[in-house]
A and B are shown apart, each in its own frame.
Chain A
Amino acid sequence: MARKDKLSGNEAVAIAMKQIDPDVVAAFPITPSTEIPQYFSKFVADGEVHTEFVPVESEHSAMSACIGAEAAGARTMTATSANGLALMWEMLYIAASCRLPIALAAVNRALSGPINIHNDHSDTMGARDSGWIQIYCETNQEAYDTMIQAFPIAEHKDVRLPIMVCFDGFITSHSVENIELLEDEKVKEFVGEYRPEHYLLDKDNPVSVGPLDLPPYYFEHKRQQAQAMVNAKQVILETAKKFEELTGRKYGLFEEYRMEDAEVAVVIINSTAGTAKAVVDELREKGVKAGLVKIRVFRPFPFEELGKALAGLKAVAVMDKADSFSAAGGPLFAEVRSAMFDHARDTKAVNYIYGLGGRDVRTDDIMKVYEDLLEIAETGKVKSTVNYLGVRE
């Protein structure tokens, strides 16, 4: 029987890792993801996993050791946040281009500077073009469930890409929520055995990894990498389907909340979706046709599907918990608006950058966004495309 429990996001993810029982975990502490290697090293110390735990001296070495381990034929995991992810930057790209299906728990935290330990999405949004699959999670349950789906997606022969499971620092990582855990055997069966095709420790078929790749071949390899990300979408959906059969919990590329007849909607990522859903419910009670789209899979970006989901709406607010300093809005806004061009060109789109450095975002703030959307829907006029929510200026 599945076990009901009350766990923090970090603990839930650490338990998922224990149930996966990877060959290698290499990690370095950084708030707010520190608890994950902490819990995990206890599992190692108590002999509950067979994993080789490598307590490296930096995140750069964490990702480098993950690359060495995964290339050697080991199922490999790590966890980090913010500056830790930034220090891995160089190696994130190399992991992806070597087509190594490493799994990383990315506990979202504001990227320095100034230094700040609280939640926003500037860390993983900065890594959005590193070639990693990125799946974002609203709750502890989603983080746990997604971690269990990570390897069947990443290791699939049509994909072979590293995967980041992203969830909000403190809000999700440290808050204790009700959760339903799977039995160890079911996780083991779902995740399956890792059988890499080419790996360093295959004595009879030695392989060279990470060659110098000049103009005659580099582009072809990047094209194959791009195709793997295209292929990932179908594999993510198939894996979600199998997971639903096992647990009854349904996952897709994004979640549509009360979108059936919606006229205005917010597009959002991670835990603030929960806050915004409460606002949608409140508006719906008043008869307002408000909806919400929560992006789950950001890489690969559900370009076509999202564009269609937003078609016919009068106004959409894209909420970014990161700024890209492009002087044209946040990263999610740029991509969502681009996705709307083919299918929802008549829908007005605006951007709200919110919650940077852990600035609290309440239902009142989200209500203000919906009020602005309703005004746009009524007048057909956008006063301000890029907006900052809840900041003194």
Chain B
Amino acid sequence: MTTSTKGTAKAPAVLVLEDGRVFRGRAYGAVGVTFGEAVFSTGMTGYQETLTDPSYHRQVVVMTAPHVGNTGVNDEDPESKRIWVAGYVVRDPARVPSNWRARRSLDEELRTQGVVGISGIDTRALTRHLRERGAMRVGIFSGSALPDEDTMLAEVRQAPEMKGADLSAEVATKKTYVVPAIGEKKFTVAAVDLGIKGMTPHRMAERGIEVHVLPATATAEEVFAVNPDGVFFSNGPGDPATADHPVSVMQAVLERGTPLFGICFGNQILGRALGFGTYKLKYGHRGINQPVQDRTTGKVEVTAHNHGFAVDAPLDKVSDTPYGRAEVSHVCLNDNVVEGLQLLDKPAFSVQYHPEAAAGPHDAAYLFDRFVSLMEGQRA
């Protein structure tokens, strides 16, 4: 029941959710078996960026956009050195790529990197299911010899859950590396890699920042050894409740008063460092069309999101924290989820979404300028 492909009929594939719902389609990418947390992404562009975003580690991504792979794969757009998604679910994969920058097809890339996918299923039905029941474990099984449904379901139910998963170290760099400033160097930033996307240091480099990307395991001493004008905590996969080490490093940075900026996982860590809790959203925010209001200006920005957890902080008041007063600076207008935090007495802020925007709109790029201002202010 799927797109016929030239000559070779694709092997059958089955997608099994942990609550027992089954979708049957055809293999896409590598043939085999994979498990992960089923999440859906609503972006209509930017599959290459999505696939290579380390935050998707151990997740099986369902694309709501039906046509995927149309522009093939190029060498400029990946957000990291490899594909991180655990599995890929699309409805109508492209048969030929068409773009002046394309080097190869997406199907080819998925196969080369061993990413198991499924195509030709009712992705909207699956999305609605996840919306109503919440993100859950899933398995994709493809190939000519498939086990029966009960066996598959049992295997899915044995796979690890996302709640409680500590994954940053698995995706982060093992060694420190430096992204040089573009043009004149104005600042040095220590960026703690919890699963950083390539565009983030690039956005900083564009603003004259030399970015020292440190492993997730970096200590406060190692961070300060860079002699940073500012410290950055990146996005990344997993449950923020497990991220005790980054939280303690961040607390040291807050103590010292070095300008601090966090994105996504970095926002959740700031939340925890300030004493707020975090929780798992029913099905998360994954897309590039989310309206976020900057509560300081009232302006609405259309932003890129990829988060399954959120910070539990009061929207209606300023909170007292060990590091002074803190407030929710940004909120998602769809569901009032906390999308940003800022300290009023110290130079620190973070957002839950992705101002580096790859993929996604560039509306929130001003946040990098805000980080630069903080560092300038500290210097003055």
Do A and B interact? no
Q: List residues of B whose CB falls within 8 A of some A CB.
A: none
